[in-house]
Chain A
Amino acid sequence: MTTNGTAGGARPESRTGPGEPGPPDAASEAIAGASAGPADWPLWEVFVRSRRGLSHTHAGSLHAPDAEMALRNARDLYTRRSEGISIWVVPSAAISASSPDEKDSFFEPAADKPYRHPTFYEIPDGVQHL
């Protein structure tokens, strides 16, 4: 769901931190593995699965002092508290993204090697769920 370049600590489209540093008390306990954002309020990526959705989709990002606060804030910001949905929050620093520079070598399929693509099979009639 995250395409290349959307994750990572320095996302250009991510919201920048609050102008005023958060209260130091709120962030006293640094979160293991999370990047130190503005005034210890690291950036979190939010993934939401809607009630009838099949998978979690990246919904956006936010700053929070820790995972529990991130969850609650994500609920307010991205779900408006609809019932029956699932939220994941991940510290942005924990996401490794593929580099846009290596896009070609990473994603360009070798078109001259047709044996890599399973297109030579005839699908019999009546086969479902394929």
Chain B
Amino acid sequence: MALGDDALVLSHRLGEWAGHAPVLEEEVALANIALDLLGQARVLLSLVGDEDELAYLREERSFRNCQLVEQPNGDFAHTIARQLYFSTYQELLYGQLAVGDGPLAPLAAKAVKEVAYHRDHAEQWTLRLGDGTQESHERIQRGLDALWRFTGELFEPVTGLDLDLTALHDDWITRIASVLTRATLTVPQGASRGAWTAGAGRQGLHTESFGRMLAEMQHLHRSHPGATW
């Protein structure tokens, strides 16, 4: 369920870009990623129960997504930083799941190809923004720094997921560092986890903007409960 919530919430955030992306081509790319993620969310949530009920009738405290994905879009660089962190994580995670023989293996095998593309997309933009102008360099670095404290949570154990996530952490750092170095950016300093970092999304504790996001997402379903569509 945690993985499904991750995908659902990030998909919603990316959906907010529709019509607002810097260029038409980017519009298509972000929508594509959002659709991929929504597809993953549907499969993952269907494994737990009714996908619509789970998406529309749960309160904020019942959502298990990590806090990283619920962060507002900010500017384009901010969105790309979030994508880079998360899709790199997803690629590692699904890669692990795909080789296992758990119930998630078939989904992971399919999704790992999608998230590899997402990661590639975020990586391309990180390189461009980081190695672009002074302004873009500052913006992407700001995004990376601001979101850094949400990344530690990604590697906390997830209930119902028999996978050593902490083992993925080193791999993740290596990959992120390699991209950021190529993009002339610096890996944010400071702890990504610990007492002063964020991240209790898996326990249902979310950041402030998440409630507003849910209100918008669930509005129609709550106004007309039980309707078919």
Q: Is the CB of A72 within 8 A of B129?
A: no
- For B117, the chain A residues whose CB sits under 8 A away are 81
A28 within 8 Å of B (CB atoms):
yes
Which of A61-69, A94-102, A113-121 contacts its partner? A61-69
Is the beta-carbon distance between A72 and B23 smaller than 8 angstroms? no
Q: Which of A15, A20, A68, A77 contacts B28 (CB 8 A)?
A: A77
CB-based contact A26/B25 at 8 Å: no
Query: Chain A contacts of B142 at CB under 8 A?
Result: none
Taking a contact as CB atoms closer than 8 A, the residue among B121, B131, B136 that contacts A72 in the complex is: B121
Chain A residues whose C-beta falls within 8 Å of the C-beta of B131 in the assembled complex: 28
- Asked if B132 contacts A69 (CB within 8 A), the reply is no
Residues of A near B22 (CB, < 8 A) are: 18, 20, 22-23, 26
Task: Given A24-B133, A25-B133, decide whether A65 and B28 contact each other with a Cβ distance below 8 A.
Answer: no
Contact yes or no, B24 A18, CB < 8 A: yes
For window 1-54 of B, CB contacts with A under 8 Å fall at 22-25, 28-29, 32
**Any A CB within 8 A of the CB of B128:** yes
Residues of chain B within 8 A of A28, CB atoms compared: 128, 131-133, 136
Interface size class of A (residues with CB under 8 A): 20 to 34
A73 within 8 A of B: yes
Q: Is A47 part of the binding interface, using a Cβ–Cβ cutoff of 8 Å?
A: no
The complex places the Cα of A18 from the Cα of B24 at a distance, in Å, of 7
Shortest CB distance B129–A (Å): 6
Q: CB-CB < 8 A to A72: which residues of B?
A: 29, 120-121, 124
Docked-complex contact A25 and B132, CB < 8 angstroms = yes
Q: A66 — nearest CB in chain B belongs to which residue? A: B128
Considering only CB atoms and an 8 Å cut-off, how many residues of chain B contact the other chain? 22
Residue of A18, A26, A64 with highest tally of chain B CB at under 10 A: A26
With the chains together, A20 CA to B19 CA distance in Å?
Answer: 12
| A25 x B129 contact (CB < 8 A) | yes
Does B76 lie within 8 Å of A23, measured CB to CB?
yes
- Taking CB atoms, residues of chain B closer than 8 Å to A69 are 25, 124, 128
* A22 x B23 contact (CB < 8 A): yes
By a CB distance below 8 angstroms, the chain A residues around B162 are: none
Instruction: List, in ascending order, chain A residues with CB within 8 A of B101's CB.
Output: none
A32 to B119, CA, bound (A): 27
Given contacts A26-B128, A72-B124, whether A77 and B25 have CB atoms under 8 Å apart is yes
| B124 near A68: Cβ-Cβ < 8 Å | yes
Seed contacts A23-B76, A25-B129, A69-B124; 19 additional CB < 8 Å A-B pairs = A18-B22, A18-B24, A23-B22, A23-B136, A24-B132, A24-B133, A24-B135, A25-B128, A25-B133, A25-B135, A28-B128, A28-B131, A28-B133, A63-B23, A64-B25, A72-B120, A73-B25, A76-B32, A77-B28
**B→A interface (CB under 8 Å):** 22-25, 28-29, 32, 76, 117, 120-121, 124-125, 128-129, 131-133, 135-137, 139
Closest 9 CB pairs of A and B: A25-B136, A25-B132, A73-B25, A25-B133, A28-B132, A18-B23, A76-B28, A22-B23, A23-B22
